[in-house]
Amino acid sequence: MLSSGAGASTSTGEGGGEGGAAPSSKRAKLGPAESVSAGDLREELGCIWKGRVCELAAHLAKTCDYEPVECAAGCTVLVPRKDASLHASSCPKAQIECPNAACGVTVARGSMAEHRALCPREEVECPCPGCEERMARGKVDGHVQVSRALHERCVWTTIARLKQANSKLQKKVATLEFEMSALSDQGEAISAAVDEMKDELMDNTTDIDSLFVDGEMQAAQIAYLES
């Protein structure tokens, strides 16, 4: 790939007449029927064309595989004509269609991640902890509306699971603390492991606290709705 700055002056700036080949003084002496090649630049890249001077411009403008051409999508890159479609398949400015079925939106490749972060057809996981159901983003609100009872169960199940994990960690911490006091020379390594587990324990406790609040709120809401 050539940058437009480097390639343009030697290749496309001459309307194809010079072809970036022999110095123009030499070329100027050639009649329109005399034989030429497409010029050093294209020959180095692989062009084997030979033809009359009067045919050179058309060769460069239409058929030469090695003539640098501008990216059709409008980025600033010049590429040999034969690589244009390859470039288009990765060019950030090329327009592509959202891969989500039935979305139909077309954006520049470089903006696709941004689009998909909001695309209503993008598949996402239900935001309720423990639910794990996957659906199109646009259907989450409806799913949440009709799944109150299910989600309440999900929250409580998650709390129970975290409490269980917590008590296991507490036991491990207690065991390690005991071992640490017994093995003074290995104390440093074990101490680090204990610190790590204490951190995890704290994270879990925070999760439980916030889930507990969620659960209580949902329970209160359901009690209110049922009354």
Residues that bind Zn ion (CB under 5 A): 38, 42, 47, 49, 64, 71, 73, 75, 77, 91, 98, 100, 103, 105, 119, 126, 128, 131, 133
Q: How many CB atoms lie within 10 A of CB 115?
A: 17
Whose Cβ is closer to Zn ion: residue 49's or residue 211's?
49
Whose Cβ is closer to Zn ion: residue 95's or residue 205's?
95
- Max Cα separation, the chain? 100
Q: How far is the CB of 115 from Zn ion (least distance, A)?
A: 6
Q: How far is the CB of 12 from Zn ion (least distance, A)?
A: 14
Whose Cβ is closer to Zn ion: residue 95's or residue 100's?
100
Q: How far is the CB of 223 from Zn ion (least distance, A)?
A: 21
Q: How far is the CB of 182 from Zn ion (least distance, A)?
A: 48
Helix 187-226 with 148-182: angle, nearest 10 deg: 160
Coil vs helix vs strand at 96: strand
Q: How far is the CB of 28 from Zn ion (least distance, A)?
A: 21
Rounded to 5 degrees, what angle do the CA atoms 214, 212, 128 make? Answer: 40
Sign of CA dihedral 97, 99, 102, 105: negative
Whose Cβ is closer to Zn ion: residue 47's or residue 194's?
47
Whose Cβ is closer to Zn ion: residue 100's or residue 204's?
100
Q: How many CB atoms lie within 10 A of CB 218?
A: 19
What b-and-e string marks burial along 55-67, b requiring 16 or more CB atoms within 10 Å of the CB?
A: ebeebbeeebbbb
Q: How many CB atoms lie within 10 A of CB 196?
A: 10
Sign of CA dihedral 113, 117, 120, 125: positive
Amino acid at 27: R
Q: How far is the CB of 179 from Zn ion (least distance, A)?
A: 42
* CA 171 to mean position of chain CA atoms: 42
Whose Cβ is closer to Zn ion: residue 95's or residue 204's?
95
